[in-house]
């Protein structure tokens, strides 16, 4: 599948929120998880900008822990604001995807 970056705008952040919501996890592993899930071209740099944004917006709790195989990891978990944002994301997704699918089937 060729370039999906434009279509991912606005949705990738929600995907990261969902992943963080299901388990406490660190940036590098989030990238691998996204790649496994089919978002094959998403790279570390992209995920880190999203994580920085989530932290800046107060949606996550961050915990630094040492690793046995490399530099220390920053583990992310959702706080209440993050869970609320995730719920909003899914509501928007539901809204938009239903409208687009309706348009696809001939509108109205």
Partner DNA sequence: CCCCACTACTCTGTGATACCGTATAGTGGT
Partner DNA sequence: ACCACTATACGGTATCACAGAGTAGTGGGG
Residue numbers at the binding site for a second copy (CB under 8 A)? 1-2, 4-11, 14-15, 18-19, 22, 33, 36-39, 88, 90-93, 95-97, 99-100, 102-104, 106-108
Residue pair 85/53 in contact by the 8 Å Cβ criterion: no
CB-count exposure of residue 42 (10 Å: 0-12, 13-18, 19+): buried
Please identify, among the stretches 23-31, 80-88, 90-98, 100-108, the one whose residues bind DNA according to the rule CB under 7 A: 23-31
**Site track 73-102 with DNA (rule: CB under 7 A), x = hit:** xx----------------------------
Interacting residues of 60 by C-beta distance below 8 A, sequence separation 6+: 20, 51, 54, 76, 77, 78, 79, 82
Contacting residues toward DNA, per CB under 7 A: 4-6, 8-13, 26-29, 41-46, 48-53, 67-74
């Amino acid at each position: 599948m060729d370039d999906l970056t434009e279509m991912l705008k606005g949705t990738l952040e929600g995907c990261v929120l969902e992943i963080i919501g299901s388990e406490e996890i660190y940036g590098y592993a989030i990238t691998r998880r996204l790649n496994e899930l089919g978002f094959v071209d998403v790279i570390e740099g992209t995920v880190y900008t999203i994580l920085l944004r989530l932290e800046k917006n107060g949606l996550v709790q961050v915990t630094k822990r040492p690793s046995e195989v490399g530099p220390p990891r920053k583990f992310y978990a959702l706080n209440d604001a993050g869970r609320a944002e995730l719920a909003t994301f899914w509501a928007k997704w539901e809204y938009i995807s239903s409208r687009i699918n309706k348009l696809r089937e001939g509108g109205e």
